[in-house]
Amino acid sequence: MKNIALIVRRELAAYLKSPMGYIIVAAVLCIDGLLFNVYALGGSPKLSSEVLELFFYFSSGTTMIASVFLSMRLIAEERQTGTLTLLFTSPIKDHEIVLGKFLSALLFFCLLTLLTLYMPFLIFVNGKVSLGHIFGGYLGLILLGAASIAIGLFGSALGKSQIIAAVTSGGLVVALLLFWLLGQVTEPPIRDVASFMALHGKHFQPFQQGVLNSRDVFYYLSVTYVFLVLTTHVLQARRWR
Domain span holding position 34: 2-239
Q: H helices of the chain, where?
A: 2-17, 19-35, 48-71, 73-81, 84-89, 94-114, 118-122, 131-158, 162-185, 190-197, 204-208, 214-239
Q: What is the pLDDT of residue 48?
A: 80
Cβ-based neighbours of 70, under 8 Å, separated by 6 or more: 15, 21, 24, 105, 108, 109, 149, 152
The whole-number pLDDT of residue 109 equals 95
In the chain, the amino acid numbered 122 is: L
DSSP 36: I
Does residue 63 sit in helix, strand or coil? helix
Tens-digit pLDDT string for the chain (241 aa)? 788 888 899 888 888 888 988 999 999 999 998 888 887 767 677 788 888 898 999 999 999 999 999 999 888 888 887 777 777 777 788 888 899 999 999 999 999 999 999 888 888 877 788 889 999 999 999 999 999 999 999 999 888 888 898 999 999 999 888 887 777 777 777 777 888 888 887 889 999 998 898 999 999 999 999 999 999 998 888 666 5
> Domains in the chain: how many in total?
1
Question: So what's the pLDDT on residue 198?
Answer: 86
Can you give the pLDDT at residue 178? Answer: 87
Sign of CA dihedral 166, 12, 220, 79: positive
Per-residue pLDDT at 240:
61
Q: Which value, to the nearest 10 degrees, does the dihedral of the CA atoms of residues 145, 147, 153, 158 take? A: -140
Residue 24 has a pLDDT of: 92
In this prediction, residue 241 carries a pLDDT of: 59
Rounded Cα distance between 231 and 206, Å, is: 29
CA-based angle 203:49:27, to the nearest 5? 70
Per-residue model confidence (pLDDT) at position 223: 94
- Structure confidence at residue 122 (pLDDT): 85
